[in-house]
Structure 1
């Protein structure tokens, strides 16, 4: 009986094994080509080989990994790439245009904040020195702000006093210069007659009288401009104070608004950009001071009036690289021409050109360094764009903005992992 039961068990196992193999063959999608499947509810009919072609049915379209329809497959690859770039550039252009419109609308706020950032970058080392001397942060910031205001007000007072004292003498010499020009027009190569000179003078006076309304409207708008200047000045003072006192906390607050994975990268780029801005501003101040001293020495040697105001003008103009000091130097040349004649004017012009050459080939590379080195073409384009968008203030802010963006983009594009911030708290995970 036991042998019979053992034989029966082996037969049942062989039957079940064969049945499972048959079922697996009917539902296996990877069966050999040319084998027809057995009809079942899950496989209703013979399965055609993978390479078989069904008559009357269009073969499926070959799809590219980057396409979603047959139309995209038929479009040339170069045209698809160009189209993808085009719509993305259009979106970037629209966003940039919107940002420029917003900045133009609130320029009365943006420009003072930009100037406050420049002043903060210039005065931050002084605040740091006072902090190392164990002064409270608010007191150190206040001392630096007061000292800066005293220096600016004192300089402006000296410039205004010297200008007021020299205006009568300069106006008299200007009249003499105008008469000399009239005599040259009569006796020079043009040989103009008195009637022609009078006609030209009458035309100039008629043009001035015809545009009196424009001058009046401009004078009326000057009151609004003066109010904007006063408002901007107050905003610059307050923003500079808080940037110097709470700049680090403000930056950390802004960084915390970003996703966690982007915080360290943005923090690293922001601090590198701030270092670049500080280096740029301090180097620009030093270069401007050297330009003003160099041109001012020649003005004093040749007894050109307004030597100190003209040197101060050169100092301010040097904050606009390449073109600022040159334009302010032209004013000094014109004053020398009116006061001392063409020979002195040519000497002052040579001094201005020489100082500019020393600045461009010695001072800029030596003082600025490679950290804030910008190609001259980028400088010219940035200044032109700044003048178009925001006038003189735009020209003043354009170059430091380019320097900061240059550093920020380079740090963000770098593949290196930024260093751990000094105030970061690293929490070790517990062992399982």
Structure 2
């Protein structure tokens, strides 16, 4: 096309601009282009995750009870399903499962409280003897502290406590003020749990209605597999917690450490927070053994705790959890840290199940988007991984 009156056609200008952009893009090294493209996508995902975490943290009074109810429903749903197969009405099966669960919890709490009350005088005497031994070591050991120096240390500790009396009182009053909030959250958890157990499938069907029809089946499959992973995780965690509590509890009892039952209960609870919970519970057991029975008993308890943890990490977890729920230790530790930051101890308790569900659901969306949801039973974790009703591989527990 000829140039008239010194004007260049717009089409030629646009073509020149496109050629210039291609030349400029070609001048950028390929690794840098890949890094830039990956970087902004990573930032977008990071911002989305941060926004979701921020919302969940600010709505913790609602999201935490729902998360706990979902966790408990994964524990109780197989029992409810079994009762329904025995021709028990679903409403009655739901009530029976909840009653059994709370009866077991109440029995364990009663046993722990009575054991602590019975062992408290003995522990106080042993603590006094241990403090006397520590005092003797400080005076006659390598430090050679005088009586005046020990008294000065004690006076400083008393002054520190007295100086923070107002802060401690404020925290106590704040804790008392939150009792009503805790009771409200417990009632909300129970309410949501009842509906999850009684009509969980209807709740899930209702949520699927907001998903576009073209993606509904894929999301349904991902959700079913995610809940199957949650069921598998809860089963395995309860089994691991029982083994940890029984083995370490027997070891503590054989050594003669007081409060063996409460310490076993603490170890059971700590097992629900992977890695960190077991370490903290084991450290408490070793500390009690050190105070009550001396250095040798503490070393023996430490050896028992380490042996049981090795059994858990190398035998129990790989066998019980399997590939569908297995998470990298770095992801677990970072997730627990984020959970503590967002929602405290409850956040640390819930974050690993959330990661397990997310891993299974996202993997289903990426690799198996066209399976039939009707062939997946979320209460049978192994069959849910294939969608065919057949186990994925031998050796993994149902």
What is the TM-score when the length of structure 2 is the normalising length?
0.87
Distance apart, 1:86 and its partner CA = 6.3
Compare CA radii of gyration and give the structure with the larger one.
1
> What residue number does 2:115 align with?
162
Which runs of structure 2 are paired with 1:306-345 in the superposition (5 Å)? 306-345=259-298
- Residue 192 in 1 paired to residue 152 in 2? no
How far apart, CA to CA, are the structure 2 residues paired with 1:405 and 1:287?
22
- Residue 228 in 1 paired to residue 181 in 2? yes
8 A Cα contact 2:56 2:63, kept in partner: yes
Which runs of structure 2 are paired with 1:59-208 in the superposition (5 Å)? 60-61=12-13, 63=15, 76=25, 78=28, 92-208=45-161
Q: CA RMSD in A?
A: 2.4
Distance apart, 1:420 and its partner CA = 5.1
How far apart, CA to CA, are the structure 1 residues paired with 2:325 and 2:318?
10
Distance apart, 1:98 and its partner CA = 3.3
How far apart, CA to CA, are the structure 2 residues paired with 1:413 and 1:242?
31
How far apart, CA to CA, are the structure 1 residues paired with 2:108 and 2:116?
12
List gaps (5 residues or longer) in structure 2. 377-398
Among 268, 283, 293, which residue is 2:246 paired with? 293
Distance apart, 1:201 and its partner CA = 1.1
Report SS of the residue matched to 2:13.
Answer: coil
Among 215, 224, 230, which residue is 1:271 paired with? 224
Question: Structure 1 residues 239 and 422, CA, compared in 2 at 3 Å: closer, same or farther?
Answer: same
Distance apart, 1:88 and its partner CA = 5.7
Question: Structure 1 residues 393 and 166, CA, compared in 2 at 3 Å: closer, same or farther?
Answer: same
8 A Cα contact 2:287 2:298, kept in partner: yes
- Residue 210 in 1 paired to residue 147 in 2? no
8 A Cα contact 2:220 2:373, kept in partner: no
Distance apart, 1:206 and its partner CA = 1.0
How far apart, CA to CA, are the structure 1 residues paired with 2:369 and 2:193?
33
State the structure with bigger RCO (CA 8 A, min sep 6), 1 or 2: 2
- Residue 241 in 1 paired to residue 194 in 2? yes
8 A Cα contact 1:61 1:70, kept in partner: no
Give aligned pairs, total: 370
How far apart, CA to CA, are the structure 2 residues paired with 1:399 and 1:85?
26
Distance apart, 1:153 and its partner CA = 0.6
> What residue number does 1:387 align with?
340
How far apart, CA to CA, are the structure 2 residues paired with 1:420 and 1:113?
24
- Answer with 324-333 or 261-270: which moved more: 324-333
Question: Structure 1 residues 165 and 91, CA, compared in 2 at 3 Å: closer, same or farther?
Answer: same
> What residue number does 1:38 align with?
none
How far apart, CA to CA, are the structure 1 residues paired with 2:300 and 2:33?
63
Note the alpha carbon deviations across 1:56-86, whole angstroms, 9 max, x for none. 444723649xx8x788567546588877766
Bigger fraction of residues in helix: 2
- Residue 408 in 1 paired to residue 361 in 2? yes
8 A Cα contact 2:69 2:190, kept in partner: yes
Question: Structure 1 residues 56 and 80, CA, compared in 2 at 3 Å: closer, same or farther?
Answer: farther
Report SS of the residue matched to 2:62.
Answer: helix
Question: Structure 1 residues 214 and 255, CA, compared in 2 at 3 Å: closer, same or farther?
Answer: same
> What residue number does 1:358 align with?
311
Question: Structure 1 residues 162 and 214, CA, compared in 2 at 3 Å: closer, same or farther?
Answer: same
How far apart, CA to CA, are the structure 2 residues paired with 1:363 and 1:92?
34
8 A Cα contact 2:252 2:301, kept in partner: yes
Distance apart, 1:326 and its partner CA = 2.0
List gaps (5 residues or longer) in structure 1. 1-47, 424-432
Question: Structure 1 residues 63 and 157, CA, compared in 2 at 3 Å: closer, same or farther?
Answer: farther
Question: Structure 1 residues 148 and 63, CA, compared in 2 at 3 Å: closer, same or farther?
Answer: farther
- Answer with 231-240 or 123-132: which moved more: 231-240
Distance apart, 1:415 and its partner CA = 5.2
How far apart, CA to CA, are the structure 1 residues paired with 2:176 and 2:343?
19
8 A Cα contact 1:126 1:144, kept in partner: yes
